[in-house]
Amino acid sequence: MSQVVSDFVSAYTREYDYYRSASAICSLRCEQLLATQGIRAIVSHRAKRPNKLLAKLQQRNKDKNYQNHDEIRADIPDLAGVRIALYFPGDRERVKAILSEKFDVLKAKDFPEKGKSRKDSKRFDGYHADHYRVLMPANALEDGEKSYATAAIEIQVGSVLMHAWAEVEHDLVYKPESGMPSEDEHAILDELNGMVIAGEIALERLQKAVERRLSSAQDTQFDNHYELAAYLYKWMRGNVPEGTEPTIGRVDILWELLKRADLNSPGKLLPLLPDAAAASSGSALSDLLADAVLELYPELYSSYGTLQSSLATPDTSAQPSPQATERADTMGDFLSAWVTLERTFRILGADLTSKRGYVDPLKGAASIELSASALETIGGIRRLRNNLVHGIDIPPRKVLMEARNSLDSVFQELENHQEARVRDAFSEARDPTTRP
């Protein structure tokens, strides 16, 4: 046995738990990302077992003649692996966009490989999937997980049908413990591959049929956030310019918000959908829609913040801790104060709003000549509000309290403003029973 291979496997055996934990963390991250964005999939993970790695390296070393550990690592990208088995193969492009955004992609590879000639007599293309070699960004990991940021992980993305066929073929062809497969067995595998490809075509047609049904049923409510995602994805394909890569974002939170606002149907949602320019601006569609809903119903700010907290983790059944309750209360207080600011400028007039009707407090503050310090405060808090509302970052309770308190100086300027219309608008905005 090659000493290089033997030493590598010995070192890997000591690191096996590290790779297994890395794959588990990555798998959970993928599962949460796909579920929150309305993509149906089965996500699994594993670390390559040392005995199987040894057998594979001994076989490959006959041709590779490994000289060092780096050559082995470059040749074996899946020491830690995650498999994403999609219900609908048409979602592969959406998954590609998500992985590219949320992970550091070192290398991507599509199967079947384009331009690669076949050396067999098979009628069908074989394995259809996308493989990504990725790193998990350190800033996306918990403090106790930072060490896993250096673990290269292979994420395989294909349909449920294709992954099932690939498992069968792999065990029969590449692990022939009872002898090499016969010509008949190869022919049957090829036949099954054709059936799987036909099945994927049927699944793509089924997905489009579901989208058409949801689009045509204007008054029928979305039963779940997967249906909402299907509707939004179809809308995006028809309205966003080709060549752009817009994202849908957190549809699970958006669905809950739409239910609270009684906007949970295609007919009620359609007027809120942005124009093509806004949809391709780089913001997630769910964020744009959440902004539109909160413009109409600012009283939902508090419950939206609670949704952000409650859906941040998979387990939403447990009772919130006292610390979580305090943070939710602080979040609600902060958002209520922000709503007062937005309401003030909405009352002052449409000239202070954006072309889609969104209130821009910074623009409004400049138009009524608030102080430079007030403008700076509003600008900083607006960024905090956007990060909070869109789930980009939920800041510590102390930061929220400081931001809330800093708004008092802005409120004081509004309350003592030289123009009566500004003072009146602020007074009306502070009255929770009044809605402009």
Q: What is the CATH number of the domain that holds 54?
A: 3.30.460.10
The DSSP line for 49-87 is -HHHHHHHHHHHHHHH---SHHHHHHH-TTSEEEEEEES
Cβ contacts of residue 382 below 8 Å, gap of 6+?
A: 361, 362
- The per-residue pLDDT for 432 is 54
In 144-206, DSSP assigns E strands to 153-159
* 343 and 426 together in one domain: yes
Is residue 174 one of the residues assigned to a domain?
yes
Do 235 and 366 fall into the same domain? Answer: no
Residues 237-275: b if buried by 16+ CB within 10 A, e if exposed: eeebeeeeebbbbbbbbbbbbbeebebbbbeebeebbbe
pLDDT value at residue 210? 87
What number of H helices and E strands is found in the chain? 17, 5
- Distance from the Cα of residue 133 to its chain's centroid: 18
Give, rounded to a whole angstrom, the gap between the first and last alpha carbons of the chain: 79
pLDDT in tens, the chain (436 residues): 689 999 999 999 999 999 999 999 999 999 999 998 999 999 999 999 999 999 889 989 999 999 999 999 989 989 999 999 999 999 999 999 999 999 999 999 998 877 665 556 677 778 889 999 999 999 888 888 999 999 999 999 999 999 999 888 877 776 656 667 788 888 888 999 999 999 999 999 998 898 888 888 888 899 999 999 999 988 888 887 776 666 788 899 899 999 999 999 999 998 888 765 565 566 788 888 888 888 788 778 777 766 766 665 444 444 555 665 676 778 778 888 888 888 888 888 744 544 444 567 888 888 888 999 999 999 999 888 887 777 666 677 888 899 999 999 999 999 999 999 999 989 988 875 554 4
What number of other Cβ atoms are within 10 A of residue 405's Cβ?
11
Task: Say yes or no: 61 and 183 in one domain.
Answer: yes
Residue 33 lies in a domain: yes
- From 152, 171, 203, the end of a domain falls on 203
Locate all alpha helices (DSSP H) within 297-417, ordered by sequence: 301-310, 322-348, 361-367, 372-389, 397-415
Q: In what order do the strands lie in the sheet with 104-111?
A: 41-47, 80-86, 153-159, 129-135, 104-111
Check if the beta carbon of residue 287 is closer than 8 Å to that of residue 253.
no
The residue among 235, 251, 278 that closes a domain is 278
Residues 192 and 253 in one domain: no
208 within some domain: no
Residues 29 and 96 in one domain: yes
Residue 40 lies in a domain: yes
* Same domain flag for 366 and 256: no
Quick one: pLDDT at residue 359?
66
Containing domain of residue 250, as a range? 221-278
Indicate if 272 and 330 belong to the same structural domain. Answer: no
Residues 321 and 404 placed together within one structural domain of the fold: yes
Residues 309 and 385 both lie in one domain: yes
Q: Is residue 210 part of a domain?
A: no
Residue 358 is predicted with a pLDDT of 58
- Phi, psi dihedrals of residue 304, rounded to the nearest 5°: -65, -40
Phi, psi of 155 (to 5 degrees): -110, 120
Contacts of 81 (CB under 8 A, 6+ apart): 23, 45, 46, 47, 48, 153, 154, 155, 156
> Could you tell me if residue 212 is inside a domain?
no
Amino acid at site 307:
L
Among residues 34, 109, 115, the alpha carbon closest in space to that of 77 is found at: 109
Same domain, 191 and 231: no
Please say which residue of 150, 173, 203 terminates a domain: 203
Do 378 and 240 belong to one domain?
Answer: no
Angstrom distance (rounded) from CA 360 to CA 363? 5
When divided into structural domains, the chain yields a total of 3
What is the crossing angle of helices 420-429 and 322-348, to 10°? 140
Q: Which residues lie closer than 8 Å to 318 by C-beta, 6 or more apart?
A: none
Does residue 287 fall inside a structural domain?
A: no
3-class DSSP assignment, residue 156: strand
Residue pair 102/173 in contact (Cβ under 8 Å)? The answer is no
Give domain status of residue 47, yes or no: yes
**Exposure of 423 in the CB half-sphere (CA atoms within 13 A):** 6
Place of tokens 């290398």: 107
> How far is the C-alpha of 42 from the C-alpha of 111, rounded, in Å?
20
Say how far apart CA 338 and CA 332 lie, in whole Å.
10
pTM across the whole model: 0.73
In angstroms, the CA 393 to CA 391 distance is: 5
Cα–Cα dist 345/361, whole Å: 7
Q: Are residues 20 and 131 in the same domain?
A: yes
